[in-house]
Each structure stands twice: as C-alpha cells, then as structure tokens.
Amino acid sequence: MRQGWRWFGPKAPVTLDEVRQVGATDVVSSLHEVPIGAPWTREDVAARRDLVETTPPGRVPLRWSVVESIPIPDAVKRTGRAATAEIEAWIASLESVAEAGIPIVCYNFMPVVDWCRTELDFVTDTGATAMRFDFETFAAFELHILERDGAKAEYSRAEQERARARFEAMSEGEIADLVRNITSALPGSTTEPMTIPGFRDKLDQYRGIDAARLRRHLVEFLQAVTPAAEKLGVKLTLHPDDPPRPLFGLPRIASTAEDYAAIFDAVPSPANGMCFCTGSLGVREGNDLPAIARRFASRIHFAHLRATRREADPRTFHESAHLDGDVDMVAVLRELVDEDRRRDKGETIVFRSDHGHRMLDDLHKDVTPGYPATGRMRGLAELRGILHALGHPPETAAAH
C-alpha cells in the first residue's frame, strides 16, 4: 500500500517538503483553479505533475498518483447522457490526466452540495478541534435560513420545535458561519459556492429527480466514460456520500453496500471502482465496513481512512481521532492488506489519512478546514503502525 497526502496546490498552507516529512510518498491533488465543467489541458496537468514530481537534490521523491477530483458538472447529475458537451469535456480532462501518467481518478455524484458539515471547529475533550455535523443545527438551517419548500414535512413536531429554539439562540455571527459552512463549498468540494437564493434555485432544478433517476444518470455517465478510462488505463473511484443519507430533500445513491453493488452490476467495467472512505460510510450505523471492504476488495483502488463518532442522536456526528470513534480501523486495514497482497505491485492501493483534528500549533495559525498538517500526520502515523503490525508496511521512497 502507498501513503497518500491530500495537497491543495502551491498556495496550500502545507508545502511539498512537509508532505515528505510526514512520510507520504504519493500526492492526491486536483486543478481546483479550473472552473467546474471546463476541460483540463495537457499543459496544466503536466505543470502540476512536474511541480509535484520534480525532486530537489537530496529529497525524497513524490508521485502524483491520484486526482481528487475531476468535478462532474451539475448538468450531468440532472440529465445524464443528455449532457453530452459536459461529458465530452470530462473525458478530455481524463485524457490529460492519463497522458501525465496519473492512474487513479476520484469523483463523487452528490447533487447540489458536496460533503456537508455544520461546524468546522467543534472543541473536543482534548482541546483539539474537529469538524461536526449537528442534526439540530442542520434542521435550523433548513427550516429557518434556507426555508426549503417541503422541509417541514420531513421533521417531526418535536424536531421542528428544537430547530426553532436552536435558531433563535444563534447570534448573527453564528448564523453567518453556518451559512458559509454549508453553502460556500468546503475544501476540495466539487460544487460551486452559493448564496441562499442560488441554493434555492439549484434545489428547484432537481424537482422530480428521485434516487432511481439520479442512479440512472450516474450509470449513463459511467457508460460514456469507462470505455475511455479502460483504454487509457485509468481507474475511476466513486467516493461515498457524506453524510451517507439524503440531504435537502435530494437523493443520495452511494451510501451503502447495496448502492455500490447496483452501480458495479450496471457498469461492470474494471475501470469502474470505489474510493473506500471509512469516515463517510462509517456515519451510517448499518454499514459493516470490513464486510464492505471484503465484498468490493477488487474495486478499491483508493482509500480515505478516518473515523467518525455518532453522538446521542446518531444523525449527529463528529470527526474522531483515526483510531477512535465508530470505525474498527484494524479490521478494515486487515481486509485492505489481504487484497493488496493479491495484487501486482503496480496495482497497489493508495490510501491517505483523511481529515484530522486541528491540534498543537495548528490551533494558532491558518489551516485548510479538515486538512491541518498535524492531525493528519498523527493519523497517518497511526495507520502506518497498524500496517507494520499486520506485517504489510507501506511502501517508502529513498532520497535521490
């Protein structure tokens, strides 16, 4: 297995030398500056690859091995194969990635909003901070800030009363923070920042699109792009929904083992793979993560390893330390190691420590929400320790 690190580019707070220092060998990155739907040029992809892979004398080499993500335009999610121009542009980006020698592409199919949190700096019992999704606060946003049509019918009277009390207790600053957290696109998001009126307009465009129709649009997209991926030698990995349940009255179709089975059955191409995210899938109580890893082992080419902890109301959760929470990380890694041992060296699984607590000196400086250096370094070290204990240490690189 290979140790990856999410890197947001040359303007990111974490430098490439710091990526080397945490022990990672593989970079997970994207051309975040390119507008969603615009094709990536070969020149732009090559320039980012060269930035990552041109190794200063005496330094450990890095490899850009995963693109996370090439965003899928909203038109594809709403109309499927009818969005021909958008699909052709996506394939053009895929071709640029393949020409640069990058073998794995991660993507998601979440409509309107990507991953969603209500708090970015929830204070844990150690004094470190974590991201959190609080169901009551989310309900307050839906009912009293967004004022989504039909939302009241999805909440009980008691839930509506608690949401109102929560909203009335919020200061103007807390309301502004909540709006920003939900509508302004979190780091790595593949959706556009929105205003509240823009959010309502986007939701309105999805009227009549249920889970079956959204899944059909995903299948149509995959039927169009997997032949190109096969020809180019690129593995596509679908990231789970985060959180793995419907939000804002919108369907979510990559939340359970059954969801993934339906997608793989519909498009059996070997290029149609999975990004195995333990944090996203682990939020849903019925998801047996080791069993999911075992069932879809051959489809897993990229893994996000993190843990979450469900709270008293299991719809509320926060990001825990990597070896805490509701994820049995040892059992998960045992399954991934078994699969990795069966593979040729060139097909090894790339994993990264996903998210991380804001802790130590990161508490006192600007960081990318969810992606502070120290918390992720702690997580990567803990994961590396499990792999050593399982007799399958991750690959390392020697200095030039």
Which candidate in 277, 322, 326, 357 is catalytic?
A: 277
Q: Provide DSSP, 231-284.
A: HHT-EEEEPPPSSSS-BTTB---SSSHHHHHHHHHH---TTEEEEEEHHHHHTS
Q: Is 355 a catalytic residue?
A: yes
Each as own residue / partner, the long-range contacts of residues 48-52 (CB below 8 Å, 24 or more positions apart, any chain) are 48/9, 49/100, 49/101, 49/102, 51/10, 51/16, 52/7, 52/16, 52/27
- SS3 at position 33: coil
CB 68 within 8 A of CB 6: yes
Q: Is 106 a catalytic residue?
A: no
Which candidate in 301, 318, 322, 355 is catalytic?
A: 355
Q: Is 277 a catalytic residue?
A: yes
Which candidate in 304, 318, 322, 357 is catalytic?
A: 304
Distances from the Cα of 133 to the Cαs of 114, 243, 278, in angstroms? 13, 9, 16
Cα 218 from chain centre: 17
Distance CA 31, CA 9 (A): 8
Which candidate in 239, 301, 318, 357 is catalytic?
A: 239
Give the chain's largest Cα–Cα span: 65
Spatial CB neighbours of 4, under 8 Å, sequence gap ≥ 6: 24, 25, 26, 27, 28, 65, 66, 302, 350, 351, 352
Q: Is 304 a catalytic residue?
A: yes
Which candidate in 107, 206, 260, 371 is catalytic?
A: 371
Q: Is 206 a catalytic residue?
A: no
What is the bridge-based pairing of β-strands 129-133 and 300-305?
unpaired
Distance CA 360, CA 37 (A): 39
Q: Is 144 a catalytic residue?
A: no
Report the interhelical angle of 211-232 vs 84-99 (nearest 10°). Answer: 40
Helix ranges, the chain (H): 16-21, 42-53, 74-79, 84-99, 135-141, 157-169, 172-183, 196-205, 211-232, 257-266, 278-282, 289-295, 329-342, 373-389
Q: Among all residues, which ones are annotated catalytic?
A: 239, 277, 304, 354-355, 371
